[in-house]
Amino acid sequence: GDRLLRALHALVDPVTAAVSLWALAWLIEGTLALHWLLLSVLAFALAFPERTPTQAPLGSVAARLLASWSWVVLVLWLAGLVMGRPDMLASRVLLHWLWVVPLVQLAAHVALWRAAPWLLRLHGAPQQAVVVGMNAQGQVLARRLRQGARAGITLVGWFDDRHPARLPADDTQTRLGTL
């Protein structure tokens, strides 16, 4: 299940960059000319694979998308400069493409993030985890497992050998017993 999610995640940015260019060329020019197809292949290659962490906060994802998209645009502009076409990015299609892609990519990341639990369930029951030892590190691990529920791992509970009076008051998970 996790491999499917990682594969989809790696394809989000390159696919949205290519498909956005195709859609804009079709909407603005009424056709999908060869130069748009070639440019979309180049944009796909530059954006692949997506490297934003799957569990990153939305603001971090947006900043990463803008940075990586700026890099793609810079490379395309430099390619136009080298080919003697510095006006290459002045086309109406490309001017719209410059601002549409980051928005579509962000929306695609949010959609994938929301669909992650469903996609993981397609591959069977979620993995289960237990925490052994509810010390400070065990509490951090338990909190991360609960917050990362979209990763397909369910926290069942925890084990600890200490006397109940010495244990932290954690009523969010079940104490399963001692070792």
**pLDDT value for 89:** 62
Token digits of residue 38: 């070639």
**pLDDT value for 23:** 95
**pLDDT value for 170:** 63
Cβ contact 149:117 at 8 Å: yes
3-state DSSP of 125-175 = CCEEEEEECCCHHHHHHHHHHHHCHHHCEEEEEEECCCCHHHCCCCCCCEE
Q: What share of the chain in percent tops pLDDT 70?
A: 84
pLDDT, tens digit, 9 for 90 and up, residues 25-44:
999 989 888 888 888 998 89
C-alpha to C-alpha distance for 109 and 132, rounded to whole angstroms: 34
Q: List, in sequence order, every residue forming a beta bridge with 175; answer none if it has no partner.
A: 158
Q: Which residues of the chain have pLDDT under 50?
A: none
C-alpha to C-alpha distance for 98 and 103, rounded to whole angstroms: 10
C-alpha to C-alpha distance for 170 and 155, rounded to whole angstroms: 13
C-alpha to C-alpha distance for 84 and 80, rounded to whole angstroms: 6
Token digits of residue 163: 């006397």
**pLDDT value for 51:** 67
**pLDDT value for 15:** 94
**pLDDT value for 1:** 54
